[in-house]
Structure 1
């Protein structure tokens, strides 16, 4: 079934999901943020079919989320490296991880926790903040359509 493109939508969420809305793409970005760069590393870690991985990597490169470069060890292989656009998705993945940790695990279940690399302490929960620094509740945020701006 072919998906409807959200390319022309005025909603940034819809446009974002058009690019990174399938789970494989976000898991590839997650693994790239964790240092994986090679096709075989992604395939082994994710357990994804090679044809599916090929398709997703190609799409992420076309969208400027990953770039391809020759392997740093001088071998004939290529590496997939996050661009600035790709690295910016880390905040999205942190939000998903924090939400998942809060709502998708029973109290006795263990899950991975994101920590800061220097002090090995869990990250502070992401919050919605106004320009002036006030913390906002979800019902204090609205989407303003372009024609109203």
Structure 2
């Protein structure tokens, strides 16, 4: 069954993939920065970065420190930015169910006013729904 979730999990459900997206969104762009932040083995991190670039979540651009060779840094694409609500929702869930109500090290904030951002379910009619509201899943055929 293809409901979108399986495809998303195939890409970002592997260990370190979402951490990489989060860390790039926080301004870490270079391989050594991502390796230090995630703790991922070099070969695994290299694989995750390649897969995220191939899927269009990350893009690469060259940079060069004077006196050294040209290297690659990573930036979010529009598809990468579209994952930030997922990260925010996961952060909210972790705070409620794993962290005893204590905010994690990363808190998502609105760039305009600095207020905390949370993920919400909104119907196409514009009405906000709660997770416990009656949500109906259907199979498209």
Give the TM-score, by structure 2 length: 0.86
Deviation of residue 73 (structure 1)? 5.9
- What corresponds to 1:10 in structure 2? 2
1:55 is the counterpart of 2:47? yes
Cα 1:127/1:58, change in 2 over 3 Å: same
Give the TM-score, by structure 1 length: 0.81
Give runs of aligned pairs for residues 1-149 of structure 1, distance below 5 A. 9-71=1-63, 76-107=70-101, 109=102, 111-112=104-105, 113-123=107-117, 125-138=118-131, 139-147=133-141
Q: Secondary structure at the match of 2:89?
A: helix
- Does the 8 A contact of 2:29 with 2:75 survive in 1? yes
| Root mean square deviation of aligned Cα | 2.0
In structure 2, how many angstroms separate the alpha carbons of the residues matched to 1:65 and 1:73?
25
- Does the 8 A contact of 2:60 with 2:72 survive in 1? yes
In structure 2, how many angstroms separate the alpha carbons of the residues matched to 1:127 and 1:51?
36
- Does the 8 A contact of 2:30 with 2:73 survive in 1? yes
- Number of residues of Structure 1 aligned to a counterpart in Structure 2: 137
Q: Secondary structure at the match of 1:71?
A: strand
1:2-45 CA-to-partner distances (Å, cap 9, x unmatched) read: xxxxxxx4211111111111230000000010011110110011
